[in-house]
Amino acid sequence: MAFKPCAVVPIYNHKNEIGATVAALLAHGLAVFVVDDGSDLPTQQVLAALADQHGPRLQVLRLPQNRGKGGAVMAGLRAAYAAGYSHALQIDADGQHDAGDIPQFLSLGQTHPAALILGRPVYDESVPKGRLYGRYLTHVWVWIETLSLEIRDSMCGFRLYPLPAVCALIEGRSLPERMDFDIEILVRLHWTGMEFFTVPTRVTYAPGGLSHFHMWRDNVRISLAHTRLVAGMLLRLPLLLARKVPGIKPGRAPSAAWWRVAERGSRLGMMTLALSCKWLGRDFTRLCLHPVVAYFWLTGARARAESLRYFQQLNQDQPEGTCPKPGWRTAYRHLFAFADSGLDKLAAWSGQLKGRDIDFPMQAEFDALIASGQGALIVGSHLGNLEMMRALAVRGSLARITAVVYTEHAQRFNSILAGAHSDFASRVLQISDMGPATAMLMHERIEAGELLVIVGDRVPVGVSTRITDVEFLGRTAPFAQGPFTLAHALGCPVYLFFALKQAGRYHIHFEHFADRIVLPRTDRTAHLNTYIQRYAQRLEHYCRLAPLQWFNFFNFWQRPQGVSRGRK
């Protein structure tokens, strides 16, 4: 996702100050989401006048009842993310914060898009001394809860949030909605491995200013929050301590592209599971996966965050209960489904998967294609178990199926599969992009009557890689043009293939996509976009059939660096 910031302003009865705050934000080119947290009628009237004055640059969201600062901020963050913004600058409505520091927040956010940019107040003589000294007690507790001094001030309401990770967190767990929100969300984001950068910023308290901080109620809430967070810190203590070891950074969530994310897990561990599957059976080995998955679930902040992002998209505009709700439990189930899929790949290649484990209603069409001797391109995805096609075909002596893959990021696991069957490596074609040389090589294989299997839901690295932005799960996502321009160059039939595990059995979905991909010189881009959008629609259809089986643990909706959009 490109850097696209906006501002979120929670307000409760600050009718006199909000106009200047909005004007300052608009002056810096930011769209503004003002969240009216159940304010009185005079404040509502002021906000309505501001909305009329500034038009679409200012959106006013009204909560019918006062929920508290945290509830208002979360409502604004959700609205900003749904509107396509990448970052949200939270700023209080009362004019305490210096809007002149906004460019520093935005500059750091653009340079470090996955980090949270946090204001560190620089007070003048107007600050109430009780508030000033009371803050330091909270700071000390936060330093204990994070085992870090990285969060310099946990109560400052001037901060720049990276929306994908933050919205994944607020959708995945219940967070407090009052003044304790500002503290708890920072600690929990730090636990996920998020980086923090600090901007010193001047804070002033106007004489007679309206404050909604209740000395007793809010201090009790903050004390209870620290109790929860200390307990959470103790549960995460091994992980937090491991981060202190030089060279070990578990839980960090870098924004690297998928091909740079190395597989986790040792070769010895993978071999142990493979031997267990062979000698003790899949059912016993599947039970053994739980502690393994639990470890990677606890230490894999990136995978958790991206799983939450995916299920957040999947749940948009869907009836309640139709797909898993975003959260840590769903992230665990998602990771377990991924591990279970790997176990089934081993079983398929080693011959343990039997006919009773598979339902293939379109097998007659598939067999007819094999019998015809005609080459074809089969476009799959990282949904379900694409390896099932090669394993079953090779073991059934239908050895003309070749996978066109980028495998440098998963060499250890592929070496285990190669050990399960001697033909595994002989039918893998390693590529780095979809350039002319690749197309020539593919053409030779199609002419020889081979079936080439390629995935359409990842953008491979390469100088000739181009993308098309299409709608997928309610948002614009980049899809590689390569599989479809390749199909055009090959002039062969195209099929789609999905192997989804449902009720303990694999259901094979094999469907005709096109006799040929035709891209005329006139309106070439429009035709290409149509084919890619059709593929994205079918992928979305099958994602909803088996939501836990889409195994892309990276920001699918973010345009990868190093690739370009197709020519218009």
pLDDT score at 533: 97
Instruction: Report yes or no on 499 lying in a domain.
Output: yes
Whole domain around residue 70: which residue ranges? 5-239
Q: Residues 229, 347: one domain? A: no
Last residue of a domain, one of 212, 239, 266: 239
Dihedral (CA of 165, 171, 176, 178) sign: positive
pLDDT, one tens digit per residue, over 18-65 is: 888 899 999 999 999 999 988 889 888 999 999 899 888 899 999 988
Q: Which residue has the higher pLDDT, 282 or 326?
A: 326
What is the pLDDT averaged over residues 364-380?
Answer: 86
Q: Residues 72, 214: one domain? A: yes
Contacting residues for 296 by C-beta, under 8 A, at least 6 apart: 264, 265, 303, 335
Last residue of a domain, one of 177, 210, 239: 239
Strand order in the sheet with 564-565: 475-480, 466-472, 564-565
Last residue of a domain, one of 239, 254, 285: 239
Instruction: Report yes or no on 92 lying in a domain.
Output: yes
Highest mean pLDDT range out of 175-189, 227-241, 460-474, 529-543?
Answer: 529-543
Cβ atoms of 93 and 17 closer than 8 Å:
yes
Instruction: Report yes or no on 285 lying in a domain.
Output: no
Amino acid at 236: R
Domain count for the chain: 2
Q: Residues 178, 41: one domain? A: yes
Q: Which range is least confidently modeled, 180-184, 341-345, 510-514? A: 341-345
Largest CA distance in the chain: 86
For residue 67, pLDDT beyond 90: no
Q: Which residue has the higher pLDDT, 275 or 207?
A: 275
pLDDT band at 500 (very low <50, low <70, confident <90, very high): very high
pLDDT band at 301 (very low <50, low <70, confident <90, very high): confident
Pick from 199, 185, 307: which is nearest to 253 by CA?
307
Task: Tell me the CATH number at 193.
Answer: 3.90.550.10
Q: Residues 225, 364: one domain? A: no
Q: Residues 86, 199: one domain? A: yes
Instruction: Report yes or no on 257 lying in a domain.
Output: no
Q: Residues 11, 141: one domain? A: yes
C-alpha to C-alpha distances, 145 to 149, 154, 183, 244, 309, nearest whole angstrom: 10, 12, 11, 14, 26
Instruction: Report yes or no on 174 lying in a domain.
Output: yes
Instruction: Report yes or no on 167 lying in a domain.
Output: yes
Q: Which range is least confidently modeled, 125-139, 465-479, 547-561? A: 125-139
Instruction: Report yes or no on 309 lying in a domain.
Output: no
Q: Which residue has the higher pLDDT, 209 or 401?
A: 401
- Cα–Cα distance measured from residue 437 to residue 444, given in angstroms and rounded to the nearest whole number: 11
Instruction: Report yes or no on 291 lying in a domain.
Output: no
Q: Which range is least confidently modeled, 144-148, 397-401, 487-491, 498-502? A: 397-401
Give Cα 185 to chain centroid, integer Å. 18
Q: Which two tokens stand for residue 331?
A: 């992230």
pLDDT score at 273: 65
pLDDT score at 412: 39
For residue 564, pLDDT beyond 60: no
Cβ atoms of 460 and 434 closer than 8 Å:
yes
Other C-beta atoms lying within 10 Å of the C-beta of residue 553: 22
For residue 529, pLDDT beyond 90: yes
